[in-house]
Structure 1
Amino acid sequence: MPGISLIYNNNGLPREAEEITTIINNLNILDHHSSQIFKCEQNFFMGWNKYEEYPIQIIDHNHFTIIIEGKIYNKDNEKLKTEIIELADGISQNNYSIKISDWLKNTDGDFIIYIINDNNIYILNDIFGRLPLYYSISENGIILSRYLRFIKDINKDFAFNRIAISQFLLLGYMLGKHTILENVYHLRPGSLIKIESSKVNVEVIHEFNFEYKKYRERNFEENINNLSNLFSEAAINRLQGAAKNIVAMSGGLDSRAIAACLNKHNSPFIAVTMKYKTGYTEEEVVVAEQVAALLNLDWKLLDVVPPNGDDIYKLLKIKEGMNSLYMAGIIPFYKEIQKSFGNNINFFTGDNGDKLIFTIDRPITNFKNVDELVEYIISEHAIIPIDEVVALTKTKKTELFNDLKELVLSFPENDLKQKYIHFRIHEKPFKYAYQGEDRHRNYFWSVSPFWSIQFFNYIMNCSDESKIRHKTFRRLLQSYSPEVTDLNYTNIKSSITSFKGKFSLFVIYYIYPRIPVLIKRKLKSTFFEGNPSTSEDSTIFKCIKDIVNNSKMIKEYFKVENSSDLRRYRKKAIYNILTMLSIIEELGEGKSTLSKYLNEEFH
């Protein structure tokens, strides 16, 4: 990923300066990326990889050097500089955590801030942890980077995290602080790293608690009006600092809301929709074109070829196993956007906005205890059954279960239903959706107004009941354009305002969740688990077979006796398996079987 890498070691840098320079230069995965060394001293190194438009800002002050990676949308530079200097001065005081927490709750942005003076270093990320950042602490200091590979290459001694691998196969992402590497951690949202007097301390400054709903009793239409204004402010604030604003528009509701909002405020942007030459996105294209016509938008349809091995391998290199190779189909879309508009753009997406606005469309069970909640999460979210995951990865089921249980217990809510909402609305996006959005940022800056802290705080303080079956989303979208609200929503093949649409939502979100678990599992197995179109001689199976047969390290972490047996899984599950196999081979053995298939289509 573009971004900053840092080493602090009170015994001196663990590698020679020339070797560190080589390591950081090797992180320039894409042609338009380059590296820069900011400081390389006896016990401190700081540098970054970026393209010209990737935002890294340096602010010099009498006592501090402030480096901001990313963007803050609701504050100008002078105000921001003043506030950060005040924060830096106050960190040594006893009540600094309250001040920083308050500042985070009022700061809308996707950022990591570095505050450096002669003696101390402070690192603060935004309240959602929108830019994934990894770190490894030793008794002598810390290595920190947006790249797992940087930490691995500096440390050299490493092992893979078996629990994290198992979680990725189970859910499609790793939980909590886990990364693919043992003892290398994903910095939690709203955290402060303090490096003072050769000591390193990591502290979570802010944790969301969704138990209390401040606006539960407020009039529904008043809430909609306030949400509409906050979303508008967030969207308009994100138009800054780029030559063009591009809205990725599908047939869904999230991108439609962004387009309708910006259009209502006469904000300039171009809407783009991708069309695979295989034709399977045709339905999305039809609806996107209807939205564009209704709003009279500048709309571009970009023809996209299916991903080949080169796209798969690029995704592996840029996301290092933290994003499934199943998502490689979007890489050709990035290339077409670059070709059409360049890199100097704000790329608007509605990523995960739906989860935010209808948090309890699926009724939540009255859990008797935390164990029931953990079992529910696994049953609802598992991509591969947990018993089969532990067989594949040679882990213990109790280890996986207890790790998830420990995470859920760490959430501050007492009510188990609200703990589930915490998992779904905060934990899962942090570990899954933000990794996807960060994938965009390898090519151009990506934004989503759904993750404005002001909008987020307001909607999470509205009652859960007001969001059932798209009620809030429907009214929010209508506040910008009743006409586009009436267009079909491709997920249900009808409008969310129509009788058919409302009935479909009722069946999907009310009837289906009430079907007994064993019957639901049978339905999933019958209709979703198989891959009849994926043959044993397909590229993905040839690749998996090659890795399993030729990698010594894979045998330490995986037990795959016959790769053909994997055909019983859904395509997403197979790609998740390929992701873990490939990153273990790439990082662990310095080779990649994927590189043998660069010109082949994956299907």
Structure 2
Amino acid sequence: MPGIHIVSNTERLSQEVLTKNLEALLHYDNYYRETLGQGQNLWIGFTSYPGYPFETLKRGDLLVVMDGKIYGHSLRDLEEELTGIASKWKEAGQDLSMTVKAFAEKYDGDYLIFLADLKRGNGLFFNDPLGRLSVYLAQKRGIVISREMGFILRLLKNWLEPDPQGIASYLMFSFPLGERTLYRGIRKVRGGVILRLEEGNIFEENYWKWDLGEKQKIQSVRKAAKDLRDIFLDAIKKRIMSFPSDRVILSLSGGLDSRAIALAFKTLSVQYHPVTFLDHEGIYGKDVEIAKEVSKKLGNLTTLIELGPLKIEDIEKLIELKGGLNYIRMSSRIHFLREIKNRFGDRISFYTGDEGDIILPYIQMSSRVKSIEDLVHWLIVRHRVFKEGEVHRITGIDPADIAEEIGNMLAEYPEDSLYHKFLHFLIFERRFKWGFEGEDRNRFFFWSLAPFYSLEFFTYAMSLEEKIKKYHRLYREFLALLDGDLIDLPRAQWGFPITSKKVYMREFMKWVLFQLPTLTAFLDRNVDKKKVKMRDPALIDYLESCLEKSTAVKSIINVREAKKILSQETGMERERFSAILTVLLTFIKFSDIT
């Protein structure tokens, strides 16, 4: 992964070992690596490629690093404020949380900052409030902070231990819960966090708290939509200005989110290239039709990239790149991203509409949820990949332990209402795990931007009361203010436009189904055409060989039970295939490193 890698307690590791591990991260020909600084008990390195935003400043013994981008600003623009934070940090006993929060509130970006006192071997890390760039922290044999999971797994290969609870939750949801990864002692760092590395120890504090129950009283849908439109346009303008020499590529689907970005580009007179893909099964054929229609009406031509079937080499490449944290169903995206790079060159700003569909609409929850226990049950039944009993048979983890962990997380959320706790879980667990890890997959090839995650846009949208968002009223008005001419084009997933009265019927039917989560889950599994069955004999054989391939696999799951469960299926659901194969390949890959 392009980005920073930090090791404390370096007396246990030679420069040769650290350099070797950096070189293992040079995934493509245009990658390069460098050691940024080495002080007493502290080592800082980075890997990158031309076009990846990474800046450094050195002032005496102070090294200032910005990994990622604060849009509209260079590191030199921020030098005075960041050196001021460094000075305050060096004064023992100073509270940094308010100072860092004041800095973060002023700027919009996808970034992390690291301030290194090379003379003393200490460091100060903080990331943006949303944690837009994935960062991992290991506290085994010292302290390692890295943008790439593989760096940690290679560096600590002799001390890796599986986390059974992390594996069980991965099989259930396709992501580990909380800060867990698949390994004990290695966790994902949340957003809005300060880490202080001092005298070989680490101290952590949160400078930002997300409370989705805090609402502002805005009654007018039009005013809210107008405010959001203005914030959205400003956010995109800052992003475009930050990369003036890049080709602007828009991943355009048949949905509303990428369409909103296309409309914003039109308003701002941005020259861009829309690209879309057609999957091997043809499920997204309607998306391709709508994407082409949107482009045509905007005077553009869409580049279509056709994806073949899942390939073993792409599956293994994704495991190498993401260390199991972007599950292998997404491996076909490797071909998509590689093709974009081949066709448009190295200097690319890649825009996606990620998460507009959860930030702007009202997200429904069953009205039968009356307690934390009800909410835990609802979340499990709605989002599980493997059932609780299956997870228990494969991993030995009691499903009650997973339910208890979810319940504890929900109880600790700052929101008072069950609905807002549900929303917090959906956004900060499910969507942020999938979405942010997916964006970092993109960043192995070029810089990926998601304007809906502009801090000001996200904060404003999530502060609006739910009644403004119901029946897509807010989203409809938002799109109309961007460009009323395209609002009547259908959304591919629905088959009708957001202006249709069918939206109301759809939301009502969804509400009815959500009162019966087990029925909804059954329909999802048996009716939803996107639940593709894996029938490729080569891939099924590959999975079976992985079950027998490594002692590492046999130490983390019950192979006999896994085979028994999988053999009962006539064509394995792609979700289940992806979840279990991701776990298996991660341990095979990183347990057999030499």
Contact 2:219-2:468 within 8 A present in 1 as well: no
Match of 2:497 in 1: 495
TM alignment of 1:133-212, pairs within 5 A = 133-138=135-140, 141-155=142-156, 156-212=158-214
Aligned to 1:597: none
- The equivalent residue for 1:578 is 581
1:76–1:153 CA distance, 2 compared to 1 (3 A): closer
Query: What stretches of structure 2 of length at least 5 have no aligned partner?
Result: none
Deviation per CA, 1:433-477, whole angstroms, max 9, x where unpaired?
A: 100111000000000110001001111111112112322111111
**Alignment check: 8 A CA contact 1:244 1:345 kept:** yes
Give the letter for the 1:548 counterpart.
L
Percent identity of equivalent pairs = 26
Per the alignment, in what secondary structure is the counterpart of residue 557 of structure 1?
coil
2:399 corresponds to 1:397:
yes
Contact 1:361-1:470 at 8 Å conserved across structures? no
Q: Identify the range of structure 1 (493-502 vs 579-588) with the bigger mean alpha-carbon deviation.
A: 493-502
Distance 2:334 2:150 in 1: 21
Amino acid at match of 2:33: S
Partner of 1:103: 103
Structure 1: runs of 5 or more not aligned: 592-603
Q: CA shift at 1:567, angstroms?
A: 4.7
- 2:316 is the counterpart of 1:317: no
Q: Is the 8 A contact 1:8 1:141 kept in 2?
A: yes
| 1:328-367 aligned within 5 A | 328-358=331-361, 360-365=362-367, 367=369
In structure 1, the residue matched to 2:538 is: 539
C-alpha displacement of 1:87: 2.0
Structure 2 vs 1, CA of residues 430 and 504 (structure 1 numbering), >3 Å: closer, same or farther? Answer: closer
- Give CA-to-partner distance per residue, 1:13-32, whole Å, 9 cap, x none: 22221122112211222333
Displacement of 1:502 in angstroms is: 4.1
Provide the secondary structure at the position in 2 that maps to 1:494.
coil
1:80 corresponds to? 78
2:291 pairs with 1:283: no
2:226 corresponds in structure 1 to 225
Match of 1:483 in 2: 485
Letter of the aligned partner of 2:317 in structure 1?
Answer: K
Within 5 Å, give how 1:270-309 maps onto structure 2.
270-276=273-279, 279-297=282-300, 299-309=302-312
Q: Secondary structure at the match of 2:367?
A: coil
In structure 2, the residue matched to 1:595 is none
Alignment CA distance shift 1:510-1:367 (3 Å): closer
The range that moved more, 524-533 or 250-259, is: 524-533
1:243 to 243, 246, 251: 246
Q: How many angstroms does 1:426 deviate by?
A: 2.5
Compared with structure 1, are the counterparts of its residues 493 and 124 closer, same or farther at alpha carbon in structure 2 (3 Å cutoff)?
Answer: same
Change (3 A) 1:84 1:566: farther
The count of corresponding residues between Structure 1 and Structure 2 is 583
The alignment yields a C-alpha RMSD, in angstroms, of: 2.2
User: In structure 1, what is the equivalent of residue 415 of structure 2?
Assistant: 413
- The whole-number CA distance in structure 2 between the counterparts of 1:393 and 1:556 is 10
Deviates more, 1:80-89 or 1:105-114: 80-89
Distance of 2:484 and 2:371 partners within structure 1: 43
The amino acid of 2:250's aligned partner reads V
TM-score by length of 2: 0.93
- Structure 2 counterparts to residues 3-14 of structure 1, below 5 A: 3-9=3-9, 12-14=10-12
Query: In 2 relative to 1, CA 289–161 (structure 1 residues): closer, same or farther, beyond 3 Å?
Result: same
Are the counterparts in 1 of residues 2 and 48 from structure 2 also a CA contact under 8 Å? Answer: yes
Q: Is the 8 A contact 1:306 1:332 kept in 2?
A: no
Q: Distance in 1 between matches of 2:251 and 2:549?
A: 41
**Match of 2:257?**
254
Aligned counterparts of 1:529 and 1:289: Cα–Cα separation in 2: 22
Of residues 401-410 and 445-454 in structure 1, the stretch that sits farther from structure 2 once superposed is: 401-410
Residues 530 and 490 of structure 1: is their aligned pair in 2 closer, same or farther, counting only changes over 3 Å?
closer
Secondary structure of the 1:432 match is helix
**Structure 1 position 71, deviation (Å):** 0.6
Change (3 A) 1:370 1:293: same
CA contact (8 A) 1:175 1:431 kept: no
Deviates more, 1:438-447 or 1:526-535: 526-535
Q: Is the 8 Å Cα contact of residues 214 and 463 (structure 2) preserved in structure 1?
A: yes
Distance 1:196 1:166 in 2: 35
Alignment equivalent of 2:16, drawn from 18, 23, 31: 18
